[in-house]
Structure 1
Amino acid sequence: MAETIRRRLLGSLRAQAAASSEPGADGLWEDVDYADLDVADWAPFRHLVRLRMLAVASPDAAMRAMDAWLRLDPRCPNWWYDQLGAPRALGDAALLLEPALSPAQRAAVCRILRRAAFAGMTGQNLLWAAEVVIRRCLLEGDDDGLAEAFRQAATLLTPGTGEGVQPDYSFHQHGPQLYSGGYGHEFAVDMAALAVLGAGTPLALPLDELSAYFLDGQRWMLHAGRYDIACMGRESTREGNARRGRILEAAARSLAGAGAPRAAELRAFGRGPGPGARYFPRSDYLSVHRTGWSAAVKTSSTRTVLSEAGNGEGLRGRHLCDGVTHLWRTGEEYADLWPVQDWRHLPGVTAASRPGPPPPLADFGQDTGGSPFAGGLSDGLLALCAMHLDRDGVRARKAWFFFLEEYVALGAGITGADPGAPVHTTIDQVALTGEVVADSGTVRHNGVAYHVLDGPPPTVRAGRRTGRWSDVNRSQSPRDLAADVLEIWLDHGPAPRDAAYAYLAVPGPAPASSPTVLANTPSLQAVRHSGLDVTQAVFHRPGTLTLPDGSSVTVSRPLLLQLTGADDVIAACPLSPGAVADVTRWVQLRRPG
């Protein structure tokens, strides 16, 4: 059993090998600052990355580097490097070099690997700890410890309400914070690799939930191969991190090869979920996929933690959970705009427009949204979601209604507390590609038409923007960057009172029929699509919606509701998302006559 795990792990490590420079006679690299104490990009870690590569290509040079590391044993102020990152990389190198290790070297390596322990670990951190323990147990010949490490990893595959995989297959880390594109990405890739190691042995992992996590969770967070930055936490500000869809696609294929259920879907992972919509109530997140385009909305509530800052990362993500609405057709719409974009003008967000970037949240804070009201609803194809925004003196009732070829965004009750700061609702901020046509409340660009149905006329700003990755993440490159950016927003003026907006987004050819706004007030927001015979509504409080044919819908509590045809009703409660709303108890339909 252990030998099977060892053989498979060594094969994987050798397949990942790449070229590396060699260290000096003392086993050190001149370009590595071994005294560095950076908590986000710790320079000595590069030594271990190179050591792991050399262990395949040049074992003699690798042994010099191994001895140098064991001699110095550098420590980082960031516990992750000390307990997880460095031990794991060192364990990889030691396994590759194992035939040449002396008993003293093996013992010294294992002392460092013992810094990883299961106590106090959750989510992806627990999985990283298990990976370190697996390496140590292979080096020490500890079969019982090896089995325990696999058992600990297997516990993470059962969805729960703590950190890790949620019952809706989104992923949380650092509290109830959506991290599917950050820690959750690493979890998927590492767990798939662990599944391959244990396949067909007594240590095999249960794969049904892991397969569901890939297909019913991670697959919905990707759009044209890129993660939505609203599900990445502070990791969205690491250059290139959003482009890791291909890595996840390869992991899905390997999982299929390990015998996971739904293998055909896993092999076709890169094609996306197909036309559909999925709401993740544990994370206040809606993902919509269509043929030719996709979109996502990230809201927040008092139940979910906002996208964090920490270790000098995520410095401008203050509004990433305030209704951010990204719309993709090619996948290049937002590619690497993060260093140059206006972070107060994130798409979909209503916020005060003050000079300079928004201030970062407290490092690793547990700040939540300002209201318990946030929720969503989907029948698997159509969808809607809504939130009560209450951030930094700005309040608003915001709702989104997704149909087959378009979506409607509504805002009502918009109030700002600062008379010196105008409140803006941003429709989009996107890479400028080709001509922008603005006419009579409509803005067209790159195959998308935005029609302002109510509220102030759209403001358009297009041109060159400059910035640096280090502006949003101190560990990233300080090189100057420039990109052409298009911004479209609605200006509600300073300190607005009960302002409103409505706009229709059409990412493709004009549909045969368009939805109609039935209500947009602080009490009720509703849209009807006559071509689909569908009405969607957000009842912010109990009330009645009268339909064009004279029929009505009355609810006795706050609800999100979709009515299809004469009497097909589905509903969700925005105050307790995930709970099934009792339509017979809370909803009353009346027909004319």
Structure 2
Amino acid sequence: MRRCFFSIYVILILFSLLFAFSGYGQSDTIINRYRSYLLQIDTTDIAYVQKLHNSIRPDGTWSDINYQDTEPAAWNVSEHLKRLQAMATLFTKPNNALYQDVSLLRSIEKAIDHWTEKRYQSSNWWHNQIGVPRYMRDIIILLRHYLDDNRWQKALSVMAQLQVNDHYLAGNLIWCADLGLHYAALTDDLQLMQRCRDLIVKEVKIGRGEGIQPDYSFQQHGARLQMYQYGKAYIWESLRIAWQLRGTSLAFPDEKVQILTDVVLNGWQWMARGIYTVPGTMDRSSSRKGELRAADIRPLIPFIVAVSPERKRELMEMNAVMNQSRSLKGFRYYPFSDFAAYHRPEFSFFLKTISTRTLPTESINRENLKGKLLNSCDAYLIRTGEEYTDLMPVWDWNRLPGVTAFQGAHAIERKEFVGSVSDGVSGVSVMDYVIKDSIGRQKLSAKKLWVCYEDFIICLIAGIKDEQIPGRIYTAIDQCRWHGSIATDLNSIELSEGTHVLHGVSWVYHNGFAYILLESSDMEIQLKSVTGSWHDINRAESKTVITEKVFTPVIYHNSKENNATGYVLTRANSTAAVNKLVRRPHWSVISNDENVQAVHLKKNVLMAAFHNAGTVPYKKGKINVDKACLMLVKGGKIYISDPTHKGATVTITTHRHAKTIALPKDGKTIIIENLL
């Protein structure tokens, strides 16, 4: 019996040793794969690193970095580590002139010594616990075999500033657990490695809290759409970690990889045109330079394919979209984040609305200083991607594209009747719209509707009412980079630079887009060279003054004489094509008032918002509903949704039948057949 117990004891010891060796082997796998990843995605310019090498001072600092900076957002002191990471990358990357350059290594050592001596701390916890440790992790892993033990331990102690906090959410949780995973691998802490892996896997989920929503949008800081800010960290890093852990005992379950791949294909790629996105997808980070290109996920696609080989065809198609060799086509609405995306071969349209279910834009850490009207039905037309990219410093933030407002408008008053209905190809969105000044004394209300069909975006505005507004009410139908000539139906010649106040305008043409008014109206068209700086909208950014040429067409409304109006956005190759379209429009507005807004299109397509019970003509009969809802009629089918997300029960009556339908509580579309 004693011999049996001894044998079992030996087996357990051997098993434990085998497990430990296996764990240590996995540590090396995680570290080596991460190093390989860093080198594969690297695009560092050798001239830039050579300049850093030549300009570093004897104490390991650079003269153009403000080491006393206290800015909470883009903390300038961390630029030191960013430069150090770039130098470490080219030092360890084969086939470049600085590979294993001894002189460069001496500069790297000086820069490391300076940081580990000073241990700079930011007033923003994120830099201390996530930002700085992330840079130091990369530096340590790249230089793993080149640092002496003393520097290694000091650098590792900087990385140890990380906090693996179970109470973090979504992107912040992924950041901290990712750091913990690598710290554990570097220190052979198998227990911490398992804990961090488990935290990441647990956080990869679909739900109504912060993170991936059931419609594949991404939210953080409450119900705010943050696809390319916190969502970028969450999605990108989680997929990269899944790639690192593949084939090990820490590998992600298949269903977690599927969730991440699904959000890339069904959310990420749809909220951008190629690599270009719009402010509504990222909230306050749109006040950071270059962020409207944040949708570029091309470097990660080979790694996603490695963990989702069965989705390779879809991922390669997405890569082609990013490379502009093909385009998406169709309409997607994200009811949990109040965002619509409409893609056509030649352009894309994006609309960010807001409801009682989503939150206004935020301005924290002295970012997004002028963006109080973001997410207030701002709407964007993109063809090349350069229409809005890096234009934010010179924007008139009171005239965001698509926003109906007045001088002094300060904030949206959120309403519940906000949503969309779609068949996946076309769609209609609606917003019960109220905007007010900072004290709530001046207020503007309206019903706004957007129809997306073929190459047309038709915007209806009805029920315009104002309270105590002394100035003019307007809608900025765009505010984009001025490119090429501008013409209107009133001018036989192109408009020159300046501000043009015009009466009775029917259409405006600019850069391949036509802006057609449903009825002649007064307009102000600004064609200006505007100056500004990133610092004006984000205190962490540069004070350098930039100048951009901006095109801003604005419609003026007169709520006392006519409280209903609208316009059409469409692609057009010439002013002659615009004139032809105006003479023979492809749309017919059959109702535009506070009760019903409806548009009839060719092929017997009908799109409507019933703000109350109502009736609209259809073919030789009528369609009646007994409660508020959204409707799209196409191909003999009725598509319907409840924009209030209450799950209303609606009775639809046509000339043939009547049917009572319980609508989903999440605002999603359902299809009804055999009623027409």
Instruction: Please give the TM-score of this superposition, normalised by the length of structure 1.
Output: 0.91
Give the counterpart letter for 2:607 in structure 1: Q
Give the counterpart letter for 1:481 in structure 2: I
- Aligned residue for 2:616? 545
Give the counterpart letter for 2:72 in structure 1: V
Which moves more between the two structures, 120-129 or 427-436? Answer: 427-436
Q: Secondary structure at the match of 2:37?
A: helix
- Aligned residue for 1:405? 455
8 A Cα contact 1:455 1:502, kept in partner: no
- Aligned residue for 1:501? 565
8 A Cα contact 2:592 2:598, kept in partner: yes
Matching residue within 313, 332, 356 for 1:264: 313
Matching residue within 176, 193, 197 for 2:240: 193
Q: C-alpha distance in 2, partners of 1:279/1:352?
A: 28
Q: Secondary structure at the match of 2:477?
A: strand
Q: C-alpha distance in 2, partners of 1:207/1:173?
A: 21
Q: C-alpha distance in 2, partners of 1:336/1:65?
A: 32
Q: C-alpha distance in 2, partners of 1:208/1:372?
A: 33
Matching residue within 487, 499, 520 for 2:592: 520
Q: C-alpha distance in 1, partners of 2:308/2:187?
A: 30
C-alpha change, 1:433 and 1:44, in structure 2 (3 Å) is: closer
C-alpha change, 1:31 and 1:390, in structure 2 (3 Å) is: same
Matching residue within 203, 215, 232 for 2:282: 232
Give the counterpart letter for 2:426 in structure 1: L
Listed one character per residue, the Cα deviations across residues 409-459 of structure 1 (whole Å, up to 9, x for unaligned) are 001111222432321112122222222121151111222112211373333
Q: CA deviation at 1:402?
A: 0.8
8 A Cα contact 2:75 2:122, kept in partner: yes
Q: C-alpha distance in 2, partners of 1:384/1:74?
A: 52
8 A Cα contact 1:253 1:267, kept in partner: no
Q: C-alpha distance in 1, partners of 2:250/2:35?
A: 17
Matching residue within 425, 431, 451 for 1:387: 431
Matching residue within 415, 419, 430 for 1:371: 415
Q: CA deviation at 1:78?
A: 0.7
Q: Secondary structure at the match of 1:318?
A: coil
Give the counterpart letter for 1:539 in structure 2: F
Q: CA deviation at 1:234?
A: 0.9
Matched, 1:571 2:623: no
1:59-138 alignment to 2 at 5 Å?
59-99=105-145, 100-102=147-149, 105-106=152-153, 109-110=156-157, 112-138=159-185
Q: CA deviation at 1:325?
A: 1.3
Q: Secondary structure at the match of 2:221?
A: coil
Q: Secondary structure at the match of 2:394?
A: coil
Q: C-alpha distance in 2, partners of 1:86/1:325?
A: 37
- Aligned residue for 2:67? 34
Q: Secondary structure at the match of 1:499?
A: coil
- Aligned residue for 2:603? 532
Q: CA deviation at 1:539?
A: 0.7
C-alpha change, 1:479 and 1:53, in structure 2 (3 Å) is: closer
C-alpha change, 1:430 and 1:114, in structure 2 (3 Å) is: closer
Q: C-alpha distance in 2, partners of 1:315/1:31?
A: 26
Of Structure 1 and Structure 2, which has the larger fraction of its residues in helix?
A: 2
Listed one character per residue, the Cα deviations across residues 198-245 of structure 1 (whole Å, up to 9, x for unaligned) are 222222233211111111000011114211121111111111111234
Matching residue within 546, 550, 553 for 1:481: 546
Unaligned runs of 5+ in 2: 1-25, 92-103, 322-326, 437-442, 490-504, 658-675
Q: C-alpha distance in 2, partners of 1:280/1:400?
A: 15
Listed one character per residue, the Cα deviations across residues 69-121 of structure 1 (whole Å, up to 9, x for unaligned) are 22221111111101111111112222333343437852772465253222321
- Report the structure number with the largest CA radius of gyration: 2
1:36-51 alignment to 2 at 5 Å?
36-51=69-84
Give the counterpart letter for 1:515 in structure 2: W
Instruction: Please give the TM-score of this superposition, normalised by the length of structure 2.
Output: 0.80
8 A Cα contact 1:452 1:504, kept in partner: yes
1:84-483 alignment to 2 at 5 Å?
84-99=130-145, 100-102=147-149, 105-106=152-153, 109-110=156-157, 112-205=159-252, 206-246=256-296, 248-272=297-321, 274-354=328-408, 369-392=413-436, 393-439=443-489, 440-454=505-519, 456-483=521-548
Q: Secondary structure at the match of 1:590?
A: coil
Which moves more between the two structures, 32-41 or 81-90? Answer: 32-41
Give the counterpart letter for 1:211 in structure 2: T
Q: C-alpha distance in 2, partners of 1:262/1:14?
A: 25
Q: C-alpha distance in 1, partners of 2:66/2:550?
A: 38
Q: C-alpha distance in 1, partners of 2:521/2:126?
A: 49
Q: Secondary structure at the match of 2:528?
A: strand
Q: How many residues align?
A: 574
Which moves more between the two structures, 437-446 or 163-172? Answer: 437-446
- Aligned residue for 1:365? none
Which moves more between the two structures, 131-140 or 172-181? Answer: 131-140
Give the counterpart letter for 2:372 in structure 1: R
- Aligned residue for 2:30? 5
8 A Cα contact 2:513 2:572, kept in partner: yes
Which moves more between the two structures, 514-523 or 440-449? Answer: 440-449
Q: Among the aligned pairs, what percent are the same residue? A: 29
C-alpha change, 1:154 and 1:496, in structure 2 (3 Å) is: farther
C-alpha change, 1:496 and 1:251, in structure 2 (3 Å) is: farther
